Amino acid sequence: MTEEIDLADRNDLILDHPLSRVAALMLVHQEDSKAWCRFKVSEDCAGAEGFLNPSVLYGLIDATCHLGLVPGLADDEEANTMDFHVSIVRQAPIGAVVGLRAELLRRSAQVACLRCEAQYVDGNSLVIASANVTKLIAIRSRGA
């Protein structure tokens, strides 16, 4: 028999990840099939040029997509990223507040397709990046 994990515990597994903690990723809102997060670009998340490191952004996009998916996962299901496409259209400097919005587009028994958009949270809402993420849904192993 698999151990039940409630939504708060699943969220904590994502938000307590070292990357999420370094970026101070904050879950703003979550509902079935959607999640909204935000973070402030810090020196720890920036490259030498003073802008958000793309690799950090990729990880936070993936985390936000996962947060959008977990409310719809059964107790014995887990999800792992199997495909990830992102287009970065502008840079985010140190000090910028970035909002991430993820939405589940389609879910089958074994695959979930999500979209996530990163944008400034300063009134102009300019898009920073757009991503499509595909996750494989699997039954959690016994004892895991």
CATH architecture, domain defined by 7-139: Roll (3.10)
Q: What is the pLDDT of residue 1?
A: 38
Tell me the per-residue pLDDT of 118-133, one tens digit each, with 9 for 90 and over: 999 987 889 999 999 9
Q: What is the pLDDT of residue 140?
A: 81
What is the domain partition of the chain in residue ranges? 7-139
Which parts of the chain register pLDDT below 50?
Answer: 1-2
Q: What is the pLDDT of residue 125?
A: 86
Q: Buried b / exposed e across 54-91, counting CB within 10 Å, b at 16+?
A: eebbbbbbbbbbbbbbbbebeebbbbeeeeeebebeeb
Q: What is the pLDDT of residue 2?
A: 47
Tell me the per-residue pLDDT of 41-62, one tens digit each, with 9 for 90 and over: 999 999 999 999 999 999 999 9
